[in-house]
Chain A
Amino acid sequence: MISDSTKARFAKEVAKYPAEQKQSAVMACLAIVQHELGYVSADSEAQVAEYLGMAPMAVHEVTTFYNMYNQRPVGKYKLNVCTNLPCQLRDGVSTLKYLEAKLGISMGETTPDGLFTLQQSECLGACADSPVMLVNDRSMCSFMTPDKLDQLVDGLRAAGDK
């Protein structure tokens, strides 16, 4: 079930569009679901579909088309490292490799404790900040030298559930 507080967030998005175009809010609603639950399940898709008056398949089409929607659970912290050409020229790939070694996983994998998922990503739109990574879809981290990567990973580990 969608909670009242989530419904309030949905309503704010729906209000941006003409009354007969509620579907326009689907991207935002799915992003809200992911923000609250960590991923977009088939159940969540069905609930969003019902809320917006869409076919569940039309919602699924959106979830599967856009790269940032997690279609299955990911670690508590999803780390997306840009390795596109401008970042490749400024240590983007070595940043990804550094994290692979530090976390003991390959890109695309999640640490056994469920804390970190590591992914390669396409252009984040912050090329001058390279090496750059996006954490949990919403926090861009810039100029990520090995020192800073240590601080970030060690800090998040220590933060635990806080």
Chain B
Amino acid sequence: MTAQHILSQFRSTGVQTCFHDRHISPQILAGLNGTNWRLKDYESRGGYQALRKVLGVDGVAMSQDQVIATVKESALRGRGGAGFPTGLKWSFMPRQFPGQKYLVCNSDEGEPGTCKDRDIMEFNPHIVIEGMIIAAYAMGISVGYNYIHGEIFSTYDRFEEALQEARAAGLLGNNILGSNFSFQLHAAHGFGAYICGEETALLESLEGKKGQPRFKPPFPASFGLYGKPTTINNTETFAAVPWIIRNGGQAYLECGKPNNGGTKIYSVSGDVELPGNFEVPMGTPFAKLLELAGGVRSGRKLKAVIPGGSSSPVLPASIMMDCTMDYDSIAKAGSMLGSGAVIVMDDSRCMVKSLQRLSYFYMHESCGQCTPCREGTGWLWRVVDRIENGHGRAADMDLMDSVAEDIQGRTICALGDAAAMPVRAMIKHFRHEFEYHVEHKTCMVPAYV
């Protein structure tokens, strides 16, 4: 056997993580099986009908304003982490701007816990392409890029193949489907830098530079890629658009809850029986999502949940079990829905060890541009590392809290906040565990690897 053949045996099939029957009213992941990702399959699921509707291929075209109004009505919010209203973001683009404008898809999915955009692009790439074409039409944009996480290279290759299909079918390029609208879309890839998920770092990277975030303002809508007006949305955000156009903004809103329209794909990882992606309506109770993921592993008790990717503040089980999975409920509980990456921890988990790993990550991925982040992330890791290794001091918890406070809000981009927030939440909710570590120089829960 060749090396390539050997490696291909271990490639993910999506069976466990995506093609289960435990989605609720799915829109993006509906009807997928791993082989039906091609253009003809997507069209047989109603794909590119929304684009035809927008361009007026079989009737009257929608105006740019109508498309944006529909997206606004849907209450679709950015699925990358910030939850910013998508329609509002689209309305910020200067539509009458005479020069080049750009559309960018942020598929640099590297927030620990998050693995949804990979499944979307791997198993339903055309839904992202269609969403991007519609967005480009609404904002009068003629060129777009999809920047894909470098580690998922096979997904990048898959997306390139899908682009070829779309070009050959006249869905991309000049005069799309015979209309006077033209849009060129290309795929680009990262090569291992978490920071490039930050939108302005991503733009720097697309320009062929190291990915260090830009100071904002100016925002990308006025000064983006190559200094031109640019709109950046997450993969899942674009993937939501075709359904909204086909079924209307109101219908999308109604399948979620007020201010939180539609379905959301949650990546559930950690201590559950069945980790994977689950597409469910916004506002689904966390308890239901946990049940879909097979419950806590080995019948253990739920201890804590990081509800929106590693940067979001951890919540103890008692608070989490009362939450519904939507932006407003999780924010009210003191955390963030973020990218929808739900990291589940059972009662055998040590919070000091968990934080030690996260703090190492933020130290490793800090781009070094801002002093509070560059110095602070390393400081935080060194302190939590010494607590974990039995060398902690009584004042260390307050020290970490103050270092985190000195980082938060004092850096160009959100990586500083992302490093600080988990620290502060861990100390807030699990201070006794840190104190036990310091006092006893060992863990109060059974050790794990």
Contacts and interface: CB of A to CB of B under 8 A. Distances in A.
B182 interface: no
B277 A54 contact: no
A122 B193 CA distance: 9
B83 to A, nearest CB: 20
Interface string B95-135: 00000100000000111111101100000000000000000
Interface string A70-96: 000000010000011110111101100
Contacts of B449: 88, 91, 93-94, 97
A161 to B, nearest CB: 9
Given A125-B110, A152-B10, A156-B7, 8 more contacts: A17-B186, A18-B226, A27-B205, A61-B209, A89-B271, A127-B343, A135-B7, A142-B12
B354 A85 contact: yes
A89 B98 CA distance: 52
A99 interface: no
Nearest to B148: A125
A6 interface: no
A137 interface: yes
B365 interface: yes
A58 interface: yes
B12 A125 contact: no
B16 interface: yes
A162 B208 CA distance: 34
B308 to A, nearest CB: 13
A23 interface: yes
Give the interface residue-count category, chain A: 35 or more
A126 B12 contact: yes
Interface residues of B, number: 70
Contacts of A125: 109-110, 114-115, 117-118, 149, 151-152
Interface string A140-155: 1111100010011001
A42 B183 CA distance: 38
Nearest to B207: A24
A19 B211 CA distance: 22
B189 A84 contact: no
A139 B115 CA distance: 16
Nearest to B147: A27
B302 to A, nearest CB: 13
A115 B35 CA distance: 34
Contacts of A88: 354, 357, 449
Nearest to B353: A88
Given A93-B449, A123-B112, A31 B270 contact: no
Contact of A140 (B6, B9, B109, B151): B151
B193 A83 contact: no
Interface in A111-130: 121-130
B190 interface: yes
Contacts, number: 209
Contacts of A126: 12, 115, 118, 151-152
Interface in B4-34: 4, 6-12, 16-17
B424 to A, nearest CB: 17
Contact of A129 (B12, B110, B188, B310): B12
B188 A128 contact: no
A51 B10 CA distance: 37
A93 B357 CA distance: 11
A85 B357 contact: yes
Given A90-B270, A122-B194, A84 B211 contact: no
Contacts of B113: 85-86, 123, 127
Contact of A123 (B2, B110, B208): B110
A24 B188 CA distance: 9
Interface in A32-68: 52, 54, 58, 61-62, 65-68
A27 B189 contact: yes
A76 to B, nearest CB: 8
Q: Which of B8, B12, B191 has the most C-beta atoms of chain A within 10 angstroms of its own C-beta?
A: B191
A139 to B, nearest CB: 4
B186 A127 contact: no
Given A61-B210, A85-B358, A90-B269, A66 B10 contact: no
Nearest to B293: A128
A127 B209 contact: no
A12 B189 CA distance: 14
Contacts of B149: 125
A28 interface: yes
Nearest to B110: A123
A134 B154 CA distance: 11
Contacts of B208: 21, 23-27, 52, 54, 58, 62
16 contacts: A16-B187, A62-B208, A68-B151, A68-B191, A68-B192, A86-B113, A89-B343, A122-B194, A125-B114, A127-B115, A128-B268, A128-B275, A137-B150, A140-B152, A156-B3, A162-B1
Nearest to B4: A139
B379 interface: no
A84 B310 contact: yes
A123 B153 contact: no
A28 B9 CA distance: 26
B269 A122 contact: no
Interface string B168-179: 000000000000
Nearest to A30: B191
A1 interface: no
Interface in B317-350: 341, 343-345, 349
